[in-house]
């Protein structure tokens, strides 16, 4: 499937699915300030929504990959949308009961659906064409994904006809019902979409006597024998955590600063999209994937420091743009670097990387605790060491074989 014309149609459908991933994750960016206002929650309590969304990645990473092995990529994608529909039905129940517990359960189910979908679409995009240009394909998918984060808030506030500060629990019934219908339709689209099954090099040798497509992986007996993969999992764990902070906290931070408006989430989304466009243009012709990761890590460190230090808060919030710009090409670069040379362990490696997305549960929760103790602006310091480790991985860690 390396031909560009052959790839276009499957990637167009997968791009739609990436948009749905961002839309579902964007619900946290919307709900955190809503619950803090309507149910008088602390920052630490509201950040539990993010934890509930990302914990399933740790629990369901391996089962999701087993599901792909059993029924294939396409049916697994369809299954994820059915789970999404159940999750948003539970969000309606949570709103009717005004119950944090039910909101957390709904977020957990939504996270499980996201895990199943991420476990299928990310390796699919990575291995459906040349590995050296995988970051370019993932950048295209990233544009679809990141534009959806603020679209969630824009869509729900438009349907309700109120700003975030005025929304009450009963207002959520109609938009969530519409979203359920959308996810059911996406499940049907996934089943009907022309998505051929794909295999990574060395994942399935034709015969015992055939020369291995991936000699490095052929000598291994366990997926845990790939240092570059294990370090990549740690880098991805930290990355998903700080990317979630960048994308999901802009609205909440703006509310804490008493800034007007409900769509501050567009600031990091625009930063991500700008970075993805650079990835599409420059990778791999002018910029290698590891170089892109190092450059982005430096930009993200600068952005985090500026958000935390600039004394004028309404300027500080705009520096989240730099954090998001730095995050943009980390995912597209990190995933193919970590999956390189896995051969027959490709699906197992994908499981570990999917589980590493649980970082989205940990880092925002840590930030929430810092917010309650030291204030919102100082909380962005927690991102700096994470971005520094990602720089290490892009410089040396991915080379460990």
| Predicted pLDDT at 141 | 87
Structure tokens, 351: 């499981």
187-221: per-residue pLDDT in tens?
999 999 888 776 655 555 544 444 456 777 788 88
When pLDDT is averaged across residues 370-374 and rounded to a whole number, the result is 89
| Predicted pLDDT at 44 | 67
DSSP assignments along 63-123, one per residue = HHHHHHHHHHHHHHHHHHHHHHHHHHHHHHHHHHHT-HHHHHHHHHHHHHHHHHHHHHHHH
In total, the chain counts a number of residues equal to 401
143-182: per-residue pLDDT in tens?
888 778 778 888 999 999 988 878 888 999 999 999 999 9
| Predicted pLDDT at 203 | 55
Instruction: Look up the pTM and report it.
Output: 0.75
| Predicted pLDDT at 207 | 41
pLDDT band per the 50, 70, 90 thresholds, residue 3: low
Which of 60-64, 204-208, 328-332 bottoms out in mean pLDDT, i.e. has the lowest?
204-208
269-286: per-residue pLDDT in tens?
899 889 989 988 888 788
pLDDT band per the 50, 70, 90 thresholds, residue 1: very low
| Predicted pLDDT at 102 | 93
CB 355 within 8 A of CB 62: yes
When pLDDT is averaged across residues 49-57 and rounded to a whole number, the result is 85
Task: Write out the H or E segment, with its range, that includes residue 242.
Answer: helix 227-248
| Predicted pLDDT at 201 | 54
| Predicted pLDDT at 305 | 96
On the question of pLDDT at 374 being above 70, the answer is: yes
d(CA 16, CA 233): 26
d(CA 33, CA 36): 5
CB 25 within 8 A of CB 42: no
């Amino acid at each position: 499937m390396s031909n560009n014309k052959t790839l276009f149609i499957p990637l167009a459908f997968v791009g739609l699915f990436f948009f749905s991933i961002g839309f579902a994750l964007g619900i946290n960016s919307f709900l955190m300030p809503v619950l803090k206002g309507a149910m008088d929650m602390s920052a630490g309590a509201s950040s539990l929504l993010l934890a509930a969304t990302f914990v399933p990645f740790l629990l369901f990473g391996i089962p999701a990959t087993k599901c792909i092995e059993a029924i294939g990529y396409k049916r697994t994608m369809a299954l994820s949308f059915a789970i999404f529909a159940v999750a948003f039905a539970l969000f309606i129940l949570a709103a009717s009961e005004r119950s944090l517990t039910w909101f957390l359960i709904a977020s957990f189910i939504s996270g499980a659906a996201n895990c199943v979908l991420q476990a299928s679409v990310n390796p699919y995009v990575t291995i459906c064409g040349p590995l050296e240009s995988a970051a370019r394909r993932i950048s295209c998918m990233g544009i679809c994904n990141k534009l959806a984060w603020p679209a969630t808030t824009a869509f729900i506030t438009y349907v309700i006809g109120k700003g975030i500060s005025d929304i009450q629990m009963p207002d959520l019934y109609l938009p969530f019902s519409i979203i359920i219908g959308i996810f059911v339709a996406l499940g049907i689209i996934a089943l009907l979409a022309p998505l051929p099954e794909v295999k990574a090099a060395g994942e399935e040798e034709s015969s015992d006597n055939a020369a291995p497509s991936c000699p490095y992986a052929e000598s291994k007996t366990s997926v845990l024998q790939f240092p570059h993969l294990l370090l990549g999992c740690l880098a991805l764990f930290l990355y998903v955590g700080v990317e979630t902070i960048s994308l999901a906290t802009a609205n909440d931070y703006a509310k804490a600063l008493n800034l007007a408006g409900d769509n501050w989430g567009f600031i990091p989304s625009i930063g991500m999209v700008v970075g993805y466009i650079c990835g599409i243009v420059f990778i791999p012709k002018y910029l290698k994937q590891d170089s892109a990761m190092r450059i982005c890590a430096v930009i993200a460190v600068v952005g985090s420091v500026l958000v935390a230090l600039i004394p004028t808060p309404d300027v500080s919030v705009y520096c989240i743009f730099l954090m998001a710009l730095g995050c943009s090409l980390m995912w597209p670069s990190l995933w193919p670097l970590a999956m390189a040379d896995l051969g027959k362990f490709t699906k197992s490696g994908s499981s570990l990387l999917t589980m590493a997305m649980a970082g989205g549960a940990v880092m925002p929760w840590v930030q929430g605790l810092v917010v309650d103790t030291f204030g919102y602006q100082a909380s962005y310091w927690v991102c700096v060491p994470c971005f520094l480790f990602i720089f290490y991985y892009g410089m040396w860690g991915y080379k460990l074989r």
